[in-house]
Structure 1
Amino acid sequence: MTTDIVTPTRGKYDNVSVSQRIERLPLTSFQRFLSFCIFVVAFFDAVDMGAMNFLLPVLAKEFHLTSITTGLLGSIGLAGMLFGALVAGPLADKIGRKTVLMWSIVIWGIAGFGLAAAWNINSLLGFRFLLGLGLGASYPIAITLLPEFLPTQARGKYLTVLEGLAPIGVICAGLITALVLPLVSWRWVFVIEAVPSLWVFVIKRYVPESPRWLESAGRKEEANRIMDNIETEVQKRHGQTLPDIENTAKVEPVIEKASFTELWSKTYFKRTIMLWILWPATMFGYYGMNIWLTQLLVAKGFTIIKSINYVLLINLGAIPGVILTIYLIERAGRKAVLIVALIGTAFSAYYYGQATNMTTLISFGLSLNFFTWMMWPSIYAYTPELYPTRMRGTGCGMSSAVGRVGALAGPYVTGVILTTTMGQSMVFTVAAGTFILAALAVIFLGPETKGRTLEEVSS
């Protein structure tokens, strides 16, 4: 199974859109394999980002960092993610999803090996920024590319699975750290987590360019060739003739270029405002809490290894959260699930910050991760559905980039709060407020997308 293409019947599909061809396809092992290739990228993105949460106290000790400098180390990777998302989204709309995704993987692989070789705080900060650059580019492109291969009935579920792999990646990062640190240097954690960048060769060989993007760029013949190959593979696995395409009205290729200003046009204004509140608010709260979780437990008197183990334990709450979201996302809809998740995350964050003993700390920690990992898959399923193909990369990339501003500020603000008399509980109170703000934005500005094609939602 490769991305090599078969010769199409010239003119056969001139009167139908790529969307019509994709929507009629039954789900088979072929689409699942394409999705798996993209899932792996998202999974190792999460592993690489999660590693810093667990290694932060180790690196703070190794390089004699103050709490402010430690916060900077947490934030610098998020600054890289901001720039990565800013560049990658519009670039993917201009030159294609696949090329940008591959280069982003190469960048975070190089950065991972660089972190393993870091010799002082400046090199650590530099490679951490580069890692963020690659991760910030790859994640929004993954959520842009995946739904463009899938029919409506599978889109929400598969996007939820993609983002649902993130907590598993974080747990794996913690397990790797907990297993490696007692045996060898922390540098080997970065080596182990950089090796999966070799997956770029699998992407190159097996994942085609998005046919929806090719069509939107006016490259209809290329889009048809890829669709011919996809249909051949699907029919081979399905074992039956594919259903007819009902509407065969002439479809003209859309050659309009994506424009930043179009995000603010009458059609997309409310959606853009909603996303530009949702993303920075949730990322500020999430990264402000999470990148400090291990460090906060160390401050309570636990050893580094025991703190890592406790963080791993509360991360297990994410798994049922993801599973429930996969079940609900097509039934209740993205908007409803997201609102419940945001409110649940806010209350859990507040009470986690008020916990005075280990039992309540773990209980509300599990609850916090349960609702958090209902929230993230819902956001990542929701965002790419709100813009048309020609500007989906720009819309996702810009939303992610604006979100990274919040993510960048969160750990630093947390570091500042911890130097005052307000203490740890204020960190989680502030985070809870940001999740409530995000919920209000979705309630009043967000449309529902359940059961509608990408083209219907974005029109």
Structure 2
Amino acid sequence: MADAVAAGGSAPPAAKGSERGGQDGRVSVADRMNRIPTSPHTALIIFFVLMGWFAETIDLGGTSFLMPAIREYFGMDATTGGYYSSICFLGMFFGAIAAGRIADKVGRKKTIVASMLIWGVAGFALVFSPNVYYLFAMRFVLGLGLGAQFPVALSYLSEIVSGKDRPKFMTLYQLMTPVGFAVAGVLTVLILPHFDWRGVYLAEALPAFFVIGIIKTCPESPLWLEAKGRYEEADAICTKFEQEAIARHKELPPVEVIVRSDVKMSFKDLFKSKYLKVTVLCFFVWFISMFSDYGLTTWLTTILIEKGFDVVQSTGFVTIGILGGIPAWFFASWSAKKFGRKKTFLIAGLCTSIFGIAYGASTTLVMLIVTGILYQFGKYLNAMMMALYTPELYETAIRTTGNGLATSWGRMGSIVGPIVLAGVMTSFGVYVTMYIAAAMVIIPGLLVFLFGPETKDKKF
């Protein structure tokens, strides 16, 4: 079999006694996947996974632009508005914890599809909100679906692409965040003046139909199938990928066999000696990053209004700034491969803090736009590194559980951030609010740089 693999053929299982490479003569699917270049079929799978997250970010980001209109319509004060933003993140907190464990038990694809159906239905239901209680309830349900989708889709994508291509596609996944937020801003500018906030929410719910593409196109993760002992299904999917690659490239490089542990893992293993340091690190990285990110994003349009701009102008400025996430993707995919994850994380923290403080101090239109773009560059660079780095810290058997727990820490920060920063803004003003939110992002970069393992060359 080794000769067949070296010649570029597919590697069928030699035995069913173990799913791990090098044991009982069976070549692991994970080892086989690591050498397969991206094919048109793989690219289509990646496209629908990206579109699923893109659709989610439109819904996720839309409320920050709509906050002034929703507060005015329902008569909310700043504190109630903060609670409205946070109720979604509370749902995301529970969704992330539950989905991580569910996906490790029943599969990645089923969990992704279910999560998109949940937030899609809730998104449409928001349009018909008759009162604040219904509005809050539907936003919470929407959060359950949003929170469930992110960590599972992230883990799925990391398992479908090769280790060589992982930085490019994992950071591209997070690039959908600024693109989705920008689209949400554009939709707000175009629709809000004519159809109020209900029309915007309706438009933001429509991309949930991308779930149809995921159902029809995306297979189950072969690494998850292998980890569950479903070798024939895993090998069939992997063989299809290999055959497509061979048809395009004539041959594949030899398989690099990596011996892996067969020990089964559960949620409690995240708090034992092997993963305890990683679990604690992820808590601080995700909590602080998303406290700052969503805490500030929720109020950014409101902050600009406080500086003297109207709703449409403020939405436009925020949307322009979000485009800074596009060069962040190019830098992240290059820097993560060139310098490693840890150094790139540190760069992200420095950029976010320095440019965020400058953004808060901006008094002219030109300075506001330039520093806004640079701040968003750093912020999305940080988010992209979180998306790339976190799944690499865990083994397949516990990857979505660990990733789900990490993102749930972030959702906790997302819950607290808008409420705390609303209080800061009320007591100390918009400038101090931006200074605090921006400056704290240096902490995750320093923590990863000083205490995190380097995962640059890790293979699943």
Q: Same fold (TM over 0.5)?
A: yes
What displacement does 1:386 show? 0.4
Q: Distance in 2 between matches of 1:27 and 1:328?
A: 21
Contact map agreement 1:220 1:253 (CA 8 A) in 2 = no
Question: Residue type matched to 1:330 in 2?
Answer: K
Question: Residue type matched to 1:127 in 2?
Answer: M
Question: Residue type matched to 2:396 in 1?
Answer: T
Contact map agreement 1:89 1:393 (CA 8 A) in 2 = yes
Q: Match of 1:261, SS? A: helix
Residue from 141, 145, 154 that aligns with 1:143: 154
**Deviation sequence 1:61-96 (CA, Å, 0-9, x none):** 111110111111111111111111010011111111
Alignment of 1:301-320 (within 5 A): 301-320=308-327
Equivalent position of 2:370 in the other structure: 363
Q: Distance in 2 between matches of 1:207 and 1:235?
A: 20
Residue from 256, 260, 273 that aligns with 2:280: 273
Query: Percent of pairs identical after alignment?
Result: 36
Q: Distance in 1 between matches of 2:98 and 2:65?
A: 29
Q: Match of 1:27, SS? A: coil
Equivalent position of 2:207 in the other structure: 196
1:343 aligns with 2:350: yes
**Deviation sequence 1:109-142 (CA, Å, 0-9, x none):** 0011011111111111111111111111101111
Contact map agreement 2:119 2:145 (CA 8 A) in 1 = yes
Equivalent position of 2:62 in the other structure: 51
1:423 aligns with 2:429: yes
Equivalent position of 1:22 in the other structure: 33
What displacement does 1:154 show? 0.3
Q: Match of 1:152, SS? A: coil
Cα 1:244–1:367 change in 2 (3 A) is closer
Residue from 73, 83, 100 that aligns with 2:94: 83
Alignment of 1:197-346 (within 5 A): 197-236=208-247, 238-245=248-255, 247=257, 254=262, 256=264, 258-346=265-353
Q: Distance in 2 between matches of 1:197 and 1:373?
A: 23
Farther off after superposition, 316-325 or 9-18: 9-18
Residue from 112, 120, 125 that aligns with 1:101: 112
Q: Match of 2:165, SS? A: helix
Question: Residue type matched to 1:356 in 2?
Answer: T
Using structure 1 for the length normalisation, give the TM-score.
Answer: 0.92
Q: Distance in 2 between matches of 1:401 and 1:229?
A: 35
**Deviation sequence 1:38-61 (CA, Å, 0-9, x none):** 111111111111111111111011
Q: Match of 1:379, SS? A: helix
What displacement does 1:359 show? 3.2
Equivalent position of 2:192 in the other structure: 181
Using structure 2 for the length normalisation, give the TM-score.
Answer: 0.92
Contact map agreement 2:306 2:430 (CA 8 A) in 1 = no
Q: Distance in 2 between matches of 1:396 and 1:110?
A: 25
Q: Match of 1:65, SS? A: coil
Question: Residue type matched to 2:78 in 1?
Answer: S
Equivalent position of 1:4 in the other structure: none
1:447 aligns with 2:453: yes
Contact map agreement 1:114 1:127 (CA 8 A) in 2 = yes
Equivalent position of 2:20 in the other structure: none
Equivalent position of 1:123 in the other structure: 134
Contact map agreement 1:215 1:254 (CA 8 A) in 2 = no
Q: Distance in 1 between matches of 2:82 and 2:260?
A: 52
Alignment of 1:30-41 (within 5 A): 30-41=41-52
Contact map agreement 1:281 1:406 (CA 8 A) in 2 = yes
What displacement does 1:244 show? 4.3
Equivalent position of 1:438 in the other structure: 444
**Deviation sequence 1:288-329 (CA, Å, 0-9, x none):** 111101111122232211111111122222222222222222
What displacement does 1:186 show? 2.0
Q: Distance in 2 between matches of 1:402 and 1:284?
A: 10
Contact map agreement 1:215 1:253 (CA 8 A) in 2 = no
Cα 1:323–1:242 change in 2 (3 A) is closer
Contact map agreement 1:108 1:133 (CA 8 A) in 2 = yes
What displacement does 1:378 show? 1.0
Q: Aligned pair count?
A: 443
Q: Distance in 2 between matches of 1:77 and 1:170?
A: 16
Q: Match of 1:182, SS? A: helix
1:114 aligns with 2:121: no
Q: Distance in 1 between matches of 2:458 and 2:438?
A: 32
Question: Residue type matched to 1:36 in 2?
Answer: F
